[in-house]
Structure 1
Amino acid sequence: MFYPLKFDHKYIEKVWGGRKFENYREDMPEGKIGESWDISAHESEMSVAVNGKLAGKTLKELAEMYPQQILGKDIEIEEFPLLLKFIDAQAQLSIQVHPDDKYAEKYQGESGKNEAWYVIDADEDAYLIIGTEDCTESEFKKAVQNDQINQYVHKVKVEKGDVFFIKAGLLHAIGAGIMLAEVQQSSDTTYRVYDYGRDRGLQLSKALEVIDFQLQSGKRKGLKVCGEDYDYSYYCLNNKFALDIINIKTEYEASGEEDRFYILTAVEGQGKIIWDEQELELSETESVLIPAYCEEYKIKGNLKLMKSYVPDLEKSKSQILSVVE
């Protein structure tokens, strides 16, 4: 009964958004579209299945109806824990920070927000803000209030294919000219620190409570395992989610693993996913959810997939060690 699930696109207009989704899709609405929530059970934007017998059901309904079959035996919560979105930043996003679980649950009533990015496209001079430069909290606050924040933020130049992990507490911002895929905890809590004079609310006092001024991050190097039909790379592994990249040269075969679900997102190239004499096109910026009890499937084509999931940390570490030992 369970098969690769595709969901509708939930487009969100943003002051910093653009029209770049038109390069990949044909269902884009009017306006400056900044985000597309593609796999989400969050109340803000709820994904609806569009293929097969389960079409018309929201992801939240599916997780409630079939918690073990959709989420997996090792996923102990009934709510879908991850959110997959795309971001088209044609202008600079606000400089911001996300809280951890403890702070978010206390003040927002939801989980915290760790996230990871895969850069789909980037202008030649595009950059991210990741972390602070050497400064104290008081120095940083004064710089924000005096419009001098640039002296205390760390800028990182980016290009297509880069991967970054943004831990809760890490100051960050996506720069203009960047399109990326983002996997994150299922949370919509963001504290804006600085917004370049745009007329939107700031949450500086809360942000200062959660910013870790010692926290730094950079481009992930990954660990690649080369194969004949595909290469497999490990990029992020933590207790909230993992992010791997599968570079398919010809074909990739797999099936659901009863322990957990997977999200497969095409971040480059195109192909198709095939199961039980059925198939779905997988072109750049398209995602499918692989339920835990999914039947066998294969993916054919020349494409790169971002694989997102909630890991068994010890099992994943053992798999990685088996490669390097």
Structure 2
Amino acid sequence: MQPLFMEPVFQEKIWGGNSLHTVFDFDLPSEKIGEDWAISAHPHGVSTIQNGPFKGKKLDQLWQEHQELFGNQQGDVFPLLVKILDAADDLSVQVHPDDSYALKHEGELGKTECWYIIDAKPGAQIIYGHTAKTREELAQMIQEARWDELFNKVNVKKGDFFYVPSGTIHGIGEGIMILETQQSSDTTYRVYDYDRKDDRGNTRELHIEQSVDVTSVPARANTLNISETKQGKSSVITYLQTEFFNVYEWQVHGALKLKKQAPYTLATVTDGYGKLIAAGEEYELTMGTSFILPNDIERWELQGEATLIASEPGKSLK
């Protein structure tokens, strides 16, 4: 079986820009592209397979019709979604529901996510968490627009990593490019949007009631237990191992040999270039290349000078 290489799915956003072209050399349909849905089976942007016997097939179709590729996992939907985001302007401050709330109110999975900072301009910041001690205080601070007092701001730089579980108030700041690994969900509740207007002059919708409902109060401290395993000059950095997904950074400096740890593995090249060797075949890797290693690929090797962010289904999904 071959790796499954993905065609990018681009999403135009009010805060998007052109960096997915200038950095990754993607051919963009407009100058306001905020997201590349790099690996997705979500109905709002489904990936197409670029190669092999399934070339031209959609990922959601493969999930339904060829479960053997994914280790015969249970579930109606492919559970993960990988994006590259280009924040040419500040994103809205937002929060996502957990599975229980989202399934009841939106009919889809909740949204726990995590961010790898591909690049960030000097002084770039994210909003990550809040200061309210009770749900009543949270609602009051939102009603009174006490944004500077409510939101926690964090400086970021290239190579930083953040875990953003459902219930976390967050916002990506201007000048940041990230690789986001998340549950396959498109449910977002906006808390604040800088009083911006859309291209028709309308203030964008906020979701205050839902935001207060789903926000974790007080804010949780999401401590990471990051570890690194060296292999010559190359290494594997383990960022997260959760019920939703496990996330790794593959640092390739020469060669890196890996073996299957889960029913399938997702990967995206965020920097550099090289090649993937799997099942006796070689595949070129460039910045922005995204692929899935299906269940029957037991071992693979990466060669070159590259950084990849990889993920796999978490323990509850295996």
TM-score (norm 1): 0.90
The answer to whether structure 1 residue 17 and structure 2 residue 16 are counterparts is: yes
Query: Hey, what's the Cα distance between the residues in 1 that align with 2:26 and 2:187?
Result: 30
| Residue number among 246, 256, 265 corresponding to 1:242 in the alignment | 246
Alignment of 1:60-139 (within 5 A): 60-67=60-67, 69-73=68-72, 75-139=73-137
Contact 1:12–1:35, Cα closer than 8 Å, also in 2: yes
Contact 1:194–1:202, Cα closer than 8 Å, also in 2: yes
Aligned Cα RMSD in Å? 1.9
Cα distance, 1:19 vs structure 2? 0.7
- The AA in structure 1 aligned to 2:271 is E
Query: Hey, what's the Cα distance between the residues in 2 that align with 1:15 and 1:28?
Result: 15
| Residue number among 143, 147, 150 corresponding to 1:149 in the alignment | 147
The answer to whether structure 1 residue 215 and structure 2 residue 219 are counterparts is: yes
Alignment correspondent of 2:313: 310
Show structure 2 runs of 5+ residues with no match: 197-202
Contact 1:140–1:149, Cα closer than 8 Å, also in 2: no
Query: Hey, what's the Cα distance between the residues in 2 that align with 1:195 and 1:78?
Result: 33
Query: Hey, what's the Cα distance between the residues in 2 that align with 1:117 and 1:300?
Result: 25
Query: Hey, what's the Cα distance between the residues in 1 that align with 2:35 and 2:263?
Result: 27
Cα distance, 1:281 vs structure 2? 2.3
Cα pair distance change 1:256/1:63, threshold 3 Å: farther
Query: Hey, what's the Cα distance between the residues in 2 that align with 1:11 and 1:219?
Result: 32
Query: Hey, what's the Cα distance between the residues in 1 that align with 2:41 and 2:218?
Result: 33
SS in 2 for 1:197: coil
Q: Deviations over 1:79-135 (max 9, x none)?
A: 211000111011111111000000000000111110011000001111111110144
Alignment correspondent of 1:284: 287
- The AA in structure 1 aligned to 2:276 is I
Query: Hey, what's the Cα distance between the residues in 1 that align with 2:195 and 2:289?
Result: 34
Cα distance, 1:256 vs structure 2? 4.9
Cα distance, 1:255 vs structure 2? 5.1
Alignment correspondent of 2:158: 160
Contact 2:36–2:84, Cα closer than 8 Å, also in 1: yes
Alignment correspondent of 2:236: 232
SS in 2 for 1:46: coil
Aligned residues: 310
Contact 2:133–2:218, Cα closer than 8 Å, also in 1: no
TM-score (norm 2): 0.91
SS in 1 for 2:4: coil
- The AA in structure 1 aligned to 2:51 is N
Cα pair distance change 1:219/1:117, threshold 3 Å: farther
Q: Deviations over 1:224-264 (max 9, x none)?
A: 1222152111111110101111211211234556x511001
Cα distance, 1:16 vs structure 2? 0.7
Query: Hey, what's the Cα distance between the residues in 2 that align with 1:50 and 1:177?
Result: 31
SS in 2 for 1:308: strand
| Residue number among 178, 181, 197 corresponding to 1:180 in the alignment | 178
| Residue number among 188, 195, 210 corresponding to 1:190 in the alignment | 188
Alignment correspondent of 1:318: none
Contact 2:242–2:315, Cα closer than 8 Å, also in 1: no
The share of aligned pairs that are identical, in percent, is 35
Return 233-242 or 272-281, whichever deviates more: 272-281
Query: Hey, what's the Cα distance between the residues in 2 that align with 1:20 and 1:135?
Result: 38
SS in 2 for 1:284: coil
Cα distance, 1:72 vs structure 2? 1.4
Show structure 1 runs of 5+ residues with no match: 316-325
Query: Hey, what's the Cα distance between the residues in 1 that align with 2:240 and 2:4?
Result: 24
Alignment correspondent of 2:200: none
Cα pair distance change 1:10/1:79, threshold 3 Å: same
Contact 1:95–1:172, Cα closer than 8 Å, also in 2: yes
Query: Hey, what's the Cα distance between the residues in 2 that align with 1:236 and 1:44?
Result: 26
Query: Hey, what's the Cα distance between the residues in 2 that align with 1:26 and 1:149?
Result: 36
Query: Hey, what's the Cα distance between the residues in 2 that align with 1:26 and 1:219?
Result: 35
| Residue number among 296, 301, 317 corresponding to 1:298 in the alignment | 301
Contact 1:248–1:303, Cα closer than 8 Å, also in 2: yes
